[in-house]
């Protein structure tokens, strides 16, 4: 079994993701911070956009796409934000969406409203092995 760790900041105590056998990617929790800061944006929509963009960025580092996601978990301290999150979330997919859970959580780091973690699998039929 081969492992390739994706690390975008070697000062954090974890990897952003680990790619197993160049096929299965396990993504660490992602939050939607304003780039270059430890701050969340003022609106739910801005934060949802940022966290989805960050998720896509980590997938791209593994030469994968959002469509390669096979499972996603969304943690939120306020489940009432489910609808607002979904409005943004839908904009990132053009076809079938991955299975997903939206889980009520306690407080998140930096006061974030959302934290996403997931699993992606490279489609071997697409020739991207």
3-state SS, one letter per residue, for 65-112: CHHHEEEEEEEECCHHHHHHHHHHHHHHCCCCCCCEEEEECCCCHHHC
Within-domain flag for 129: no
Contact indicator for 76, 103 with CB cutoff of 8 Å: yes
Which is nearest to 19 in space by CA: 120, 124, 125?
120
Whether pTM exceeds 0.75:
yes
Within-domain flag for 83: yes
Total tally of structural domains belonging to the chain: 1
Q: Give the domain range for residue 32.
A: 3-124
Which residue shows structure tokens 């839908």?
Answer: 90
What does the pLDDT read at residue 126? 53
Q: What is the CATH number of the domain that holds 45?
A: 3.30.1330.40
What does the pLDDT read at residue 6? 97
Using a pLDDT cut of 70, give the percent of the chain over it.
Answer: 96
**pLDDT tens per residue across span 24-38:** 999 999 999 999 999
What does the pLDDT read at residue 123? 84
What does the pLDDT read at residue 87? 98
Within-domain flag for 120: yes
**pLDDT tens per residue across span 13-72:** 999 999 999 999 999 999 999 999 999 999 999 999 999 999 999 999 999 999 999 999
- What is the pLDDT averaged over residues 70-78? 98
């Amino acid at each position: 079994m081969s492992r390739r760790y994706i690390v975008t900041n070697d000062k954090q105590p974890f990897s952003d993701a680990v790619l197993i056998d160049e096929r299965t990617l396990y993504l660490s929790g992602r939050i939607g911070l304003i780039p270059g800061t430890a701050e969340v944006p003022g609106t739910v929509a801005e934060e949802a956009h940022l966290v989805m963009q960050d998720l896509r960025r980590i997938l791209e580092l593994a030469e994968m796409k959002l469509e390669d996601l096979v499972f996603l978990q969304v943690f939120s301290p306020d489940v009432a934000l489910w609808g607002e999150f979904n409005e943004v979330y839908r904009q990132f997919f053009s076809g079938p969406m991955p299975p997903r859970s939206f889980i009520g959580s306690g407080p998140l780091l930096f006061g974030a409203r959302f934290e996403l973690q997931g699993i992606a699998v490279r489609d071997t039929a697409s020739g991207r092995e």
